[in-house]
Amino acid sequence: MTLPKYCFDTHALVWYFKGVKTLSNKAKQILDQTFEGNAIAFIPSIVILEAFHISLKDKEFIFSKFIKYLARTKFIVIPMNEETLKIGFGLSEKINIHDRSVVSTAIYTKSTLVTKDGILRNLFPTETIW
């Protein structure tokens, strides 16, 4: 059996961790599936940095606890590398630099992008979920 593959944008992971009610039901189901070990999960390295940045502004969001929480399952952090850079350079000019990293990681890993970002959902060349 081949497990589904997902690439997560920052909001999905942070909101799941915090229990934010505006996380979509579909995104929550996918993250539940991931934490149960029934999906392969990729995290672009920029998402880790963005989560850290959120922790600097939101004192209730403890970055070290978030990282330990992610470590409970097999999330794979994908670093910015030559391949993701090449993909990112070829994306629409409408996508900002952080989002280019997220989209290029999803393309590189051949995974479904889980994002609330409407611009990415409209411009992403393959399936997205929110």
Q: What is the pLDDT of residues 45-74, one digit of tens each?
A: 999 999 999 999 999 999 999 999 998 888
130 or 41, greater pLDDT: 41
What's the burial of 61, exposed, middle or buried (CB within 10 Å: 0-12/13-18/19+)?
middle
Tell me the residue type at 107.
I
Its CATH architecture, for the domain 5-118, is: 3-Layer(aba) Sandwich (3.40)
Task: Report, as an integer, the average pLDDT of 84-89.
Answer: 90
Tell me the residue type at 20.
V
82 or 96, greater pLDDT: 82
Whether 77 shows a pLDDT value over 80: the answer reads yes
Q: Report the range out of 4-8, 100-104, 120-124 with the highest average pLDDT.
A: 4-8
- For residue 89, give both structure tokens: 């350079």
Q: 13: closest CA among 81, 102, 119?
A: 102
Tally Cβ neighbours within 10 Å of residue 53: 12
